[in-house]
Chains A and B, each alone.
Chain A
Amino acid sequence: MDTRHSRTTLTWRLLALLMTIVVIAAGCAAPTPAVVQQVITQPPQIQTQIVVNTQLVPATQLVPATQLVQTVVTATPVPPKIGNGNSLTIGITSGSGPLSPFFCIGGYCYAPLATLLLGLTTHDDKGQPVPSLATSWEANATADEWTFHLDPKAVWSDGTPLTANDVAWTYETCLDPATGCTMTRHAQLNLIKGASTFKGGADQHVPGITVVDDHTIKFTLEAPDATFVNEMWQGIVPEHVLKDVPHAQLKTDPFNANGPTVVSGPMKFVMRQGDEFYQLAKNDKYSGKPAQFDTVIMKALDDTTAASQLESGEIELGRIPASEAARLSTLPQLNVTFSPVDLVYYWIINTKKSYLKDPKIRQALLYAIDRKDVLQYAWEGNGTVGVPPFAPDWAVNPSLNQYGFDAAKAKAMLTAAGWDWKQKVVIMVGPWPDNVKPAEDTQALLSNLGINAEVRLISAAAWTPEQEGENWDIGMNAGFWSADPSLMAADWTCNGWNSKVTGWCSQDLDKLAAQGLTTTDVTQRKGIYGQISQILNDQLPFLPLYATGTPWGVNKGLQGTKLPTDWLFETWNFTDWHR
């Protein structure tokens, strides 16, 4: 080969390498939209009420007629797509499985089911139970009997009246072991008298479920529970459609595996394309406030894909990654909001390990973690660092130790407690970004202190058995910021999952947790949960990191959404959504 040819070939190959690098670099570069300032004029607006501490407070406020607004001009001349028309397409959490209250696990099914098969209650944007099929409810003085009153106008989409028998049948079918129902993990069904020993079978009933009349149902509990109503939002299923299906075959029955053909909610099921999307249509027989859309498409998308489709206008609402929130908020067609506090992230500590038994060690570890830094790294700073393990606000104990970041104090405490600096500390996390990023930063912070920390990444399917095992010292956990402190406290009772895997148990906490369920008086409960949070604050079987809200993108063509604390309830006020 002559020299000239060699040089030419080399030139082209270098050019190929350069083009590859340019292509990759171009793809990695983030766009920087231009920002244009302009003054807009609009008619003066008067706000007549504001919400303070969940109470409406009358107020009058004049919104100025002119405002300085910064708008973003994108490089492309294509106008942003604002939603319109009577059809709506939204993104819901991706996942696969039956579209049935019996077997639903995950947001992919909760969002459509909330518009199809209503529960006795639902949760509002603050996580509080609000009426749905049940218009009212009450508990007896000892909180071990709950009576729900159903809407007498409630009717199934085939015209059959919806009665208390449907409610009883739904719960009893779920409690039958042959069904394989997963509803029990959310619903308080196991608290009902006779539920735990119920074997199912023809003409068998759970003793604690009583149909008083067509529109009244009573639940008698094994023990008092002031929070029983909080988890009664699971959908009720039509008895007259499914009563002849053997319970063991319910999961594969088309009504559950594909979609409900008879519904009670504002929308009815039209079709599903596998696990890609559901198509729903307005249910004209719905007895409540009608839906404002004739057709709704719910696409199951991961949050990264949802962000792309929000930007392109293919969907009008969806969860987005926290890392995209800032960028998407600059787009003219989108509103980006964070729901109220949703998830609480914390490190659980394996106190079965001898070197982690001492509470002083655990306190030192919490002093060693700069949680603001971790929040910034993992969530772009979108969240709240703090230690109160409970919600709502009335349950927060104001005298808790905040354990602010103090590396020097941490080191001194560890040294005083006899910490072995050669001891390896394994931080175990699942493959999700909201696990991996805090793990990386925590490892770095602990390593800076001289602790020999390493991150162990495990698959999602292995999560449960690994947590029950021994190959970890610190593990990521996240809990929903629930509407009642009893639910989070239950996790830390000696029978709770967290206690089981961490090996930490407090009899005092157990007694207090049981007391907290026996009364509905807020003042008494405040004192009880204040003591529980003090125990957890002193003992630190877990290291609280931060609480975050879920970031949502909503097209400006869609109004009326109130995205909730618990993202599973994204369609809780669906009939209020409008153009």
Chain B
Amino acid sequence: MATYVLRRFLVAIPVILGITLLIYFMISLAPGDPVTALISPHDAGALGSDWVARERIRLGLDKPWPIRYSIWLNEALHGNLGYSLVTGRSVAGEIVRRLGPTLLLTGTALAFSSVASILIGVVSAVYQNRWVDNLLTTVSFVFVSVPGFFLGLLVIYVFALRLRWLPTGDLSTPGQGFALHDLLTHLLLPALVLGASLTAGLARYTRSAMLETLSQAYIVAARAKGLGWPRVLMRHALRNALLPVITITGLRVPLLIGGSVIVEQVFNWPGLGQLGVEAVFSRDYPTIMALNLLIAIAVVVANLLTDVTYSIVDPRIRYD
């Protein structure tokens, strides 16, 4: 297993390098650059073309993109992710500051959706083709079909504007310092929205996996021997049914980070998704590269963890 993990990490290095190179190349093709993104044409005229040219040189934008990439890579390998071309603040500092809210949001959504999807999937499978199953299936289809941004706006309208039970967005109430209740109140709606479509999809997978497991001979044998349904479900069926679900969940983690972009925009949640959108619009190359590096590493680690967890849950799986 250790050899396997080491081999996976070694393979991941050129993969991540290739991703960063591709991203840098693609973003350099996009029209405009940080200087033109920073100021309006009117301001560019007022500042003069000399100012624009000077700024490009000061920010190193006059160099060809392979050289700029090499400089960035060299610095990144030494632990320096640079400074934002827009804000002047340390990119690493900004990512660390935003990572917490994103992890909080995606972690909560993942935890909620994992628990909910298992419950829904198991109930649906046990009561297959009965009204409970049909109702849960219908609701799942609805949540898979309704776009996340729309659901977000809808819950804001209902819970924040009409009922005034919850705030419209943000991480917390500004100026009041940390308060757990305040944080949870702000977290509830965006986490529910982000988790909703994930729950629906995972619930379907869980249901399918449970149905397949429940039809296995050993389950029938266990029941024939007199074991109770709860024990058969929890000790025998669920553990085997979870194998594909673990795989799907692990593969969904990076998608959650990407999917949080929309939810963060809708709820004004100050996370990495919002940072990424702003960085792309303002052509903030250091921030874009740092974020993509982080996501690439997250994908690699998530895939590895999924495979390792899979082998732990299923002793039949062994890696060399």
Contact = CB atoms under 8 A, between A and B. Distances in A.
A463 B42 CA distance: 11
A8 B128 CA distance: 12
B58 A299 contact: no
A497 B89 contact: no
A15 B270 contact: no
B138 A15 contact: yes
Given A20-B146, A105-B38, A464-B44, A87 B175 contact: yes
B180 interface: no
A68 interface: no
B182 interface: no
A503 interface: no
A496 B46 CA distance: 8
B164 to A, nearest CB: 5
Interface stretch (B27-35, B109-117, B245-253): B27-35
B88 A251 contact: yes
> Which of B31, B84, B137 counts the most chain A CB atoms within 10 A?
B31
Contact of B89 (A81, A257, A301, A312): A257
Contact of A479 (B42, B51, B55): B42
Interface residues of B, number: 63
Interface string A8-39: 11001101110110011011000000000000
A276 B270 contact: yes
B88 A98 contact: yes
A66 interface: no
Contacts of A252: 83, 88-89
B320 interface: no
A500 interface: yes
B37 A103 contact: no
Contact of A466 (B31, B137, B150, B174): B31
Contacts of B38: 105, 182
> Which of B46, B47, B161, B169 counts the most chain A CB atoms within 10 A?
B46
Given A309-B168, A312-B161, A96 B278 contact: yes
A348 to B, nearest CB: 10
A273 B174 contact: yes
Interface stretch (A453-461, A533-541, A551-559): A453-461
Interface in A244-264: 251-252, 256-258
Nearest to A301: B268
Interface in A180-194: 180, 182, 184-186, 190
Contacts of A182: 38-39, 43, 47
A31 to B, nearest CB: 8
Contacts of B134: 8-9, 12
A72 B281 CA distance: 40
> Which of B42, B171, B270 counts the most chain A CB atoms within 10 A?
B42
Closest 10 CB pairs of A and B: A497-B45, A461-B32, A462-B31, A461-B37, A16-B141, A251-B88, A464-B36, A462-B32, A16-B138, A12-B134
13 contacts: A19-B139, A23-B146, A26-B154, A96-B86, A190-B48, A252-B88, A273-B171, A276-B268, A312-B164, A459-B31, A461-B31, A464-B44, A501-B41
